[in-house]
Amino acid sequence: MDTTQLRIETGGRHVLDLTDRAAAFAAQAGGDGLLHVFVPHATAGLAVMETGSGSEEDLEEVLDRLLPRDDRWAHRHGSRGHGADHLLPVFAGPSLTVPVQAGRLLLGTWQRIVLVDLNDDNPRRQVRLSFLHG
């Protein structure tokens, strides 16, 4: 198994496209297999979605409605509404797997791999990529 770790600076962005970095890693590993993507944080998650068409803003708006940034949460440390950050991984899980053939991600035409992170308290993230040869 080949593994690498990406260091991500979110810079206040809540949906960050990781596809190009994941594709480069899969191409370097080469061959057929599975690419596993994992974010080892309790307040961030991953998703496969279309980007560049307004979907990122739509996702943020939906998550704001589902997880409002107010004081209703039992988990209260950090900035106002931080308890909502700890519920995000229920909706955008901490891992996903993408099939790879001949070093290419087998994503659909509009599918992209994104990091979803509403937690402005922590702008530094890590994402682990692992390639399991088939």
How far apart (Å, rounded) are the C-alpha atoms in residues 95 and 36? 7
pLDDT of residue 114: 98
Residue 121's contacts (CB-CB under 8 Å, 6 or more residues apart) are: 78, 79, 82, 85
Q: Mind listing the pLDDT tens digit for each residue in 58-88?
A: 999 999 999 998 989 888 787 888 899 999 9
How far apart (Å, rounded) are the C-alpha atoms in residues 122 and 11? 10
pLDDT of residue 75: 82
Domains of the chain and CATH, by start = 2-133 (2.60.120.460)
How far apart (Å, rounded) are the C-alpha atoms in residues 85 and 77? 11
Beta bridge partners of 124: 9
pLDDT of residue 127: 98
Classify residue 54 as exposed, middle or buried by CB count within 10 Å of its CB (0-12, 13-18, 19+).
exposed
How far apart (Å, rounded) are the C-alpha atoms in residues 128 and 21? 11
pLDDT at 57 over 90: yes
Classify residue 64 as exposed, middle or buried by CB count within 10 Å of its CB (0-12, 13-18, 19+).
middle
Helix boundaries (H) for the chain:
19-29, 55-66, 82-85, 88-91
This prediction has a pTM of 0.94
